[in-house]
Structure 1
């Protein structure tokens, strides 16, 4: 049995904003020609509300996307601003890097010419006893490592890595 589209779909109540894509012309006024992602609030027929996100790309304008484009067009006509795309900073990219398993991280360090004993020496050299013990626990027991974790950042400096060197180590270690 086919369900009625209008009784089982939400109503868009508010357009929160738009995140531009590298392909976005932020001066374009026709939302059917814009590339990016829109955040918006909806209310479902049962009264439940939530925030949804939809990617927009010219040519993908069908079904629910048409309703989203219409809502964003109304928002834009009312003064909503499509931001110019700004590339992420290196720090923003580092924050989004996937975690490495402890195995990947250690093998990556070895491939980069650093030994595990150098890491142990660097941890042993931490002056504050509490911070040293925390670092030792992280090094020995962490199941995974995040690129911007304080231990990773401090060890990278101590072991002579530049931030770009760590980025390279991180990317190559993902394959291990």
Structure 2
């Protein structure tokens, strides 16, 4: 017989253990190891336990691939960036500027991977994480 220990989705020991036979398979979310340390939160690292002082922060929600232009404009407005975004689009020159203004004025949706998002992000000083956050915020607007 061997002892296995249950872990949750964050790989934190739940405090549950059970005995299984040497030839029995290990169920999902259970690990074969030495007993987790009793102090703090014991997180399974694949080859041993790491004691944490607090539970890890949950990962951010996924970035939506697309939002409506209404949602995009409202998110920019709420972030205090709408006037700067519109000025940046108005200041774009040549064929790329014409196409950016057509997209901004007439598109019904905005894709995260659209070149306009990259161009505006650069002009507004937004890194990828900030653009992702704006898309997440926009998607929450009903």
Give the TM-score range, shorter chain. 0.5 to 0.7
Aligned residues: 84
Deviations 1:44-96 (A, max 9, x none): xxxxxxxxxxxxxx8xxxxxxxxxxxxxxxxxxxxxxxxxxxxxxxxxx76xx
Name the structure where helix makes up a greater proportion of residues.
Answer: 1
Structure 1 position 175 matched with structure 2 position 140: yes
Name the structure where strand makes up a greater proportion of residues.
Answer: 2
Equivalent residue number for residue 88 of structure 2: 122
Deviations 1:74-130 (A, max 9, x none): xxxxxxxxxxxxxxxxxxx76xx3310011000011111212x32222112223x21
Contact conserved, 2:67 with 2:110, CA < 8 A, in 1? Answer: yes
Equivalent residue number for residue 107 of structure 1: 74
Q: RMSD over aligned Cα, in angstroms?
A: 2.2
Structure 1 position 146 matched with structure 2 position 104: no
Structure 2 residue runs without a partner (length 5+) = 1-24, 29-61
TM-score by length of 2: 0.53
Q: Which runs of 4+ in 1 moved over 3 A?
A: none
Structure 1 residue runs without a partner (length 5+) = 1-32, 34-57, 59-92
TM-score by length of 1: 0.43
CA distance in 2: counterparts of 1:123 and 1:172, whole angstroms: 21
